[in-house]
Amino acid sequence: MQMTESACLRVRGAVGQRVGTERNGLTIVINSLRIYKHGSPAILRTAFLLTFAAATLGSLPPVALAAAPAPFSAVYNAHYDGLPLKAKAVRELRRNADGRYEFVSTASAFFARIRESSTFDWTDAGPVPRQYAYVRTGLGKNRTTDVRFDWGAGMAENVAKRKPWTVPVAPGTLDKLAVQMKLRADVKRLVENDAERTLVYNIAENGRIKRFEFELFDEETIETPMGDLRTVKLRRVRENGARRETVFWLAPAYDFLLVRMFQRERNGTRFELVIRSLEQPDEPRA
């Protein structure tokens, strides 16, 4: 079913999780912003799992307050260009005893392991990040990122010893995982209000503030291992004539959780991610 023109959304952001697997010397790493194919000359760039950063609150309807998210644990299957290559990614949202949230993405394959996490507070405007961490082992060079947000000083600092950096951050800036929670809340409000909005998101990454643009353009019922799911579709907005394509499917029945992703590169190679299972503990929302 095609969405009404007024329900069209433009979102800017980046994307957020990593998966690694290997077969016959081929290693695929699904990064927050790219897919790297180790063992081959090609380096495939992609945008994976919806990492966007904070929107200007004034662009939302006056009643648009972000409801606190419910904890969950989701498992995904990954398929690369029709090859018998499979990887499993797990993404979990937890609420700690101190009331702060921790969003964790983990992946492991053979000797490789990747863990990405965001610790944030939740406000009426959405997530306020406190710390973002990324650790990769067993895939080429090990890598560690540890970003601390100092809102009093208006700075984000990567305190990891390798390639440290500091960047000024304005209120509303997010990290690559916390932004996914903000996105879900914003898309839900925009769809329910049948509103057309341009949302600008900022992410602190590698010593810079980055922005990406996406468009909410359609609805579709898709088949998954969890059964048929009604979804809304987001696509990456690219320059005219671009041969790359990135599409995301979010399920309203699960608070607009990512349930499918499709990526096609310039050379025609394709990558797909599909949700396999979801657990949602019976915990009341704040």
- Residue 284 in any domain: the answer is no
**At which residue do the structure tokens 């987001």 appear?**
234
Q: How many Å apart are CA 19 and CA 4, to the nearest integer?
A: 35
- The pLDDT, as a whole number, for residue 191 is 87
Report which DSSP code applies to 33: S
- Residue 81 in any domain: the answer is yes
- Residue 211 in any domain: the answer is yes
- The pLDDT, as a whole number, for residue 266 is 85
CB 188 within 8 A of CB 11: no
- The pLDDT, as a whole number, for residue 198 is 62
- Residue 285 in any domain: the answer is no
- The pLDDT, as a whole number, for residue 20 is 36
Res. 111: pLDDT tops 80: no
Res. 247: pLDDT tops 80: yes
Report field, pTM of the whole predicted structure over 0.95: no
- The pLDDT, as a whole number, for residue 27 is 31
pLDDT band, residue 257 (cuts 50/70/90): very high
CB 88 within 8 A of CB 75: yes
* Window from 48-62, 85-99, 188-202 with minimum mean pLDDT: 48-62
Element counts in the chain: helices (H) and strands (E): 1, 22
- Residue 30 in any domain: the answer is yes
- Give residue 191's domain range: 5-277
Domain count, the chain: 1
- For the segment 1-26, what is each residue's pLDDT rounded down to a tens digit? 444 433 333 333 333 333 333 333 33
Res. 97: pLDDT tops 70: yes
- Residue 239 in any domain: the answer is yes
- For the segment 171-222, what is each residue's pLDDT rounded down to a tens digit? 999 998 898 888 888 888 888 887 766 667 888 989 999 887 778 888 999 9
Higher pLDDT, 87 or 34: 87
- Residue 167 in any domain: the answer is yes
Q: How many Å apart are CA 114 and CA 140, to the nearest integer?
A: 12
- Residue 282 in any domain: the answer is no
- The pLDDT, as a whole number, for residue 31 is 36
Q: Please report, rounded to a whole number, the percentage of residues in the chain having pLDDT higher than 90.
A: 35
- The pLDDT, as a whole number, for residue 159 is 95
